[in-house]
Amino acid sequence: MEAESYLDDIEFEFSLKPSKDPEFSHYLLHFSGKATGWDDDANDEIIIGEISGHRLDLSAARAAKVNFQDFLESVSSEVADLGDSVFHGQSTCMLDASVKDKIQKAECDCIIYIDTLLVNPAHRGKRIGTTLLRRLSEMIDMENGLIALKAYPIPDDPDAVIDDVEPKTPAEIEKVKKFYEHLGFERVEDDYMIKDARTCLSKKHKTK
């Protein structure tokens, strides 16, 4: 109840933009979101959480016969590495069957790749990261999608708005991975983690 009360005072804002690359703009969407709260000491709003990444429309890209590897590399080297680790260089991405959720094996229609999920250390443990992920699922189409991320990403921007949030020790890295496992992600290779988005959607439908 205390966490719910805390979240009532937090504002969540998202923006969606197509890729600037004209070759892939029809298949690639960039998303970003932030959680803002009020800092009494500074008497001003502060960003306490951020999420950003891309939605890759695999179904549309396949129909247009877009080169799969070029498509992944247009996003980032991490996404290209994910393609090698999970898809083994193939353009087909299969979602596993789930007996518990009565979900059948199917081909991925999209990948939702999370580049960054950061929460200010002073505000951790208050469901900010979890809420950002949930709000994201309400903002973009994840049907038949695979959610993927690197559990220990290194930001490209050293002057990120939220400072000193990257875990540094093996124990802290393991804690981050456990956080994602608690949310239903599975480990792939060393650092990548994936989740069948249909499990999120099935739970959402059950609560309606």
Nearest to 84 by CA among 192, 9, 201, 198: 192
Burial 99-134 (b: 16+ CB within 10 A, else e): eeeebeeeebbbbbbbbbbbbbeebeebbbbbbbbe
Q: What is the pLDDT of residue 123?
A: 85
- Number of domains into which the chain is organized: 1
Q: What is the CATH number of the domain that holds 154?
A: 3.40.630.30
Question: Domain containing 34: what range?
Answer: 2-206
Q: What is the mean pLDDT of each run of 10 residues along the chain (208 residues)?
A: 68 93 93 90 87 94 90 91 78 66 76 91 86 91 90 51 54 83 84 85 48
